[in-house]
Structure 1
């Protein structure tokens, strides 16, 4: 045993990786639908490992936490700034209201119970499931003019309060928004019906009603047919075939033609003779409908063997941003282009005719190389897959944010600053938005963002757990059961009020209302519960804007809480 203790005390970095490995493994375990989640698991494993009384160098946790905050800001920055000047303003205001409710309810409960800044930060972080506030609160506590022993006592109690309240924070939020919320809004069946009506309304598009405008997960297909029906007794062109498809309510393109034994790429004025073979492209549900007016499907490997591009494009151009999907697909440059997927702040949106696109949205499009080449410059920047991260951008961005965050002003003798962590978050927001304006630099691939988010936060949480380990059990005894009850109130009251406010004051559609509440509280688990409950992805339309605002405000509340409670 002494050998193990000596090893981890000599090499504390090994204790961190032990905590990360076991914590991530425990976080993946589920009992029915319940899971502790990665962050809570890492914290609890860290507490156990911390019983060995392992000293961890201070800068370690700060480095990883700054990476995490910068990447969070980078991810939501485009949506955050876009929401301030778009028709998403009501959702922005709602997110601000709910975030203020979360802050106000938690602080009032903490004041009633006589909690110190550390206890309040832990209560807020767990009840609102916003782990990052621990770091911001920790930095702010470090700037207070109190004794070092008192600061350390406050810091040690944070993970105790967080661990106790986080479980209900996660489960309770999902239950309130996924189960109780629909009941508050008229009942589950009524909410489902209104959501179906909204989906139908958003699919409408005059003569261009498009059955292809369905779930973005449906694959795009290419299939070959023989032009052997009587319809081709009259001379036809490729444009005639596509026009006939549109008349039938389908968005299908002719990509290739085999005529007189020769295979060529299709052009609008190309003549199609009877018994020629055609390659049609579109969504599976559209292409496999009855095509007897064309002829039989054929298996022609040579005709069907050709390169098709499937790329991601970041919307930056005025010719695309601000348009609905229906309006965009009417543009001449979109001929031959199938929209396969739309993502906003990492959340996949339902592809409906009236879904409005915004700057910074990521579109996955499929088409022939020539069509892609024509369309992509009119859409924005082609975000081709790469494994390279612009670390110059990351390093200087965090440095600039840290400098800004370190600036301190005094109000009534109280030092006030964003702290380096708050500065890194604000810097991430700015640089994430800047990349939508100048996308040729500052690329952080999704896998790198995942690493920064997950490893960055959990490295920080691991160090918090290990450091607090020796005093964790005594902290549990000190706080008692009342902290769990305080967490239930801090989680439930803002969400219940938020559902009511979204319905009665903001007049949101029920599905959008629930999505806005989930986004404002940055709880992805609750969004999943809502979508499963009402059997629709429409709530995601209320999630993205509010998530960007909520993620920013809830983290920055760490500074406010410490100042209010000190």
Structure 2
């Protein structure tokens, strides 16, 4: 049975990719003391084990999947990447660039002190900064340096060794530094400063950071207006001007009216009113009589994700958005930025590219979506013309090269795919008539593209992995600790004393620069608040882009020194 399996994998090596993926995605999510390997590292380790049996994957499949992954990365961060050019963005960009320069230079210096070769240096950089995508960019550059095939393969096989040795502390160490050590070094009570920040931007200490009254626990109830009620003769918008409650429909005799703000209330009307349950009970019910009118209540309520593209709403706060005419009858359930949920507070700012989960009637949702951007309703179709054409054109641009001394320098096809994703994603926020990629499809491109690439890297590097690990394992692990820790510690002090970020968002900003979602989760857990996520989005967009491109620069630095 075992021999048959090995013979089959040798005859059909593409099956070994899926074997590595299956084991990697099985082990990756499992956690010990709150930490796990993650799917990428787990896939790499299982791929290395498979590679011990002499299985190799040839052809362009590795590069194909990596191009798909980088396009998805660029497409996912494009709106916030360009949104950073306004308001508080320049300060976060300047901070991000300084810290990211350290994230490149510290691993480079460690590699030189440790006398590591080019392949191990790239692995040290990618693992300590937990940026798997840099592996592909660096490999592309190595393959275009005019090296012999044997030397290029030797370097390429060393990269996953360096990555695997340094990645674990890169993830765990960053989380501990930012969530535990950082607040102690600065003398910050993270729970208190986050609670104080919530109050500053309109939060309620008696609620979860994301649980803002009038945005959660929404109900629609029906009330009958007596002839002597104080609301008779008033317009719908005036019956509770300071509360987010809305008259949705009115029964007048045998007629049902779809109400708007100008609808005048008459005695004997039955009103279907939406709002937060506590507001309806405390503010509306005492002045009216609740009745049961199933027909009046029989209006569909939708929950829809709306993608923000309208620049008029960029940097608008939730309070400003709630007060706009387009928000009538609309309730906000969730804000998602780079697949991270951020807290709903009155002064939370909305950015282009955010996804707002809205609850309301179909007609209200349609009005809000038209004003804000577009309703991201569940669909199955992906605009593959944009995906395939974007990768092709980006790859052509990336293939153009110039000479830096004797070394050809280019974005590479992978860098071109990343750039194409950035530009097309931004273009879609301006003209949302093309480039439809549903969130699940984008997530699949991202996850599958990277992990197939990593699986092939691990399988092909398998034969030399164990020997390489024995040769540089312990010393490389120590250099990885230094490469991870120094940039993060400097970032904490730089962000606090020089850029003066509020302590509540400081550690979220630092986690964003390093694109470490695991650290953000631990910071939020320590803070007992989602507030740190408010600082994550912009630095994440910058970090995800530059850390990937720096995979090329680490190769150039090592080859020129």
Normalising to structure 1: TM-score of the pair?
Answer: 0.92
| DSSP 3-state at the match of 2:382 | coil
Indicate if the aligned counterparts of 2:161 and 2:465 stay in contact, CA closer than 8 A.
yes
The answer for unaligned runs of 5 or more in structure 1 is: none
Other-structure match for 1:104: 105
Other-structure match for 2:424: 431
- Residue 243 of structure 1 deviates from its aligned partner by 3.5
- Residue 220 of structure 1 deviates from its aligned partner by 5.0
| DSSP 3-state at the match of 2:390 | helix
| CA spacing shift, 1:61–1:237, aligned 2, 3 Å | farther
Indicate if the aligned counterparts of 2:216 and 2:332 stay in contact, CA closer than 8 A.
no
Other-structure match for 1:165: 166
| DSSP 3-state at the match of 1:336 | coil
| CA spacing shift, 1:4–1:373, aligned 2, 3 Å | closer
| DSSP 3-state at the match of 2:273 | strand
| DSSP 3-state at the match of 1:224 | strand
| DSSP 3-state at the match of 1:226 | strand
The answer for unaligned runs of 5 or more in structure 2 is: none
Distance 1:51 1:318 in 2: 53
Distance 1:434 1:295 in 2: 50
1:224 aligns with 2:225: no
- Residue 541 of structure 1 deviates from its aligned partner by 1.5
> Mean alpha-carbon deviation: is it higher for 36-45 or for 366-375?
366-375
Indicate if the aligned counterparts of 2:229 and 2:287 stay in contact, CA closer than 8 A.
no
Other-structure match for 1:119: 120
Other-structure match for 2:238: 243
Distance 1:47 1:211 in 2: 44
1:281 aligns with 2:274: yes
Other-structure match for 1:131: 132
Distance 2:552 2:214 in 1: 41
Distance 1:173 1:139 in 2: 28
Distance 1:550 1:399 in 2: 24
- Residue 198 of structure 1 deviates from its aligned partner by 1.9
- Residue 292 of structure 1 deviates from its aligned partner by 4.0
- Residue 435 of structure 1 deviates from its aligned partner by 0.9
1:470 aligns with 2:463: yes
Distance 2:157 2:61 in 1: 17
| DSSP 3-state at the match of 1:52 | coil
| CA spacing shift, 1:289–1:452, aligned 2, 3 Å | farther
Distance 2:106 2:493 in 1: 16
| CA spacing shift, 1:286–1:53, aligned 2, 3 Å | farther
Other-structure match for 1:336: 329
Indicate if the aligned counterparts of 2:234 and 2:265 stay in contact, CA closer than 8 A.
no
- Residue 187 of structure 1 deviates from its aligned partner by 2.9
Other-structure match for 1:564: 557
1:317 aligns with 2:310: yes
Select the residue among 518, 532, 543 that pairs with 2:536: 543
Cα deviation, 1:469-489, whole Å, max 9, x if unaligned, reads: 111110111113111111111
| CA spacing shift, 1:243–1:198, aligned 2, 3 Å | farther
Normalising to structure 2: TM-score of the pair?
Answer: 0.93
Distance 1:366 1:403 in 2: 44
Other-structure match for 1:195: 194
- Residue 119 of structure 1 deviates from its aligned partner by 0.4
Select the residue among 324, 335, 348 that pairs with 2:341: 348
| DSSP 3-state at the match of 1:366 | strand
Indicate if the aligned counterparts of 2:236 and 2:264 stay in contact, CA closer than 8 A.
no
Indicate if the aligned counterparts of 2:309 and 2:374 stay in contact, CA closer than 8 A.
yes
Other-structure match for 1:8: 9
Cα deviation, 1:500-534, whole Å, max 9, x if unaligned, reads: 00000000001221111000000001111111111
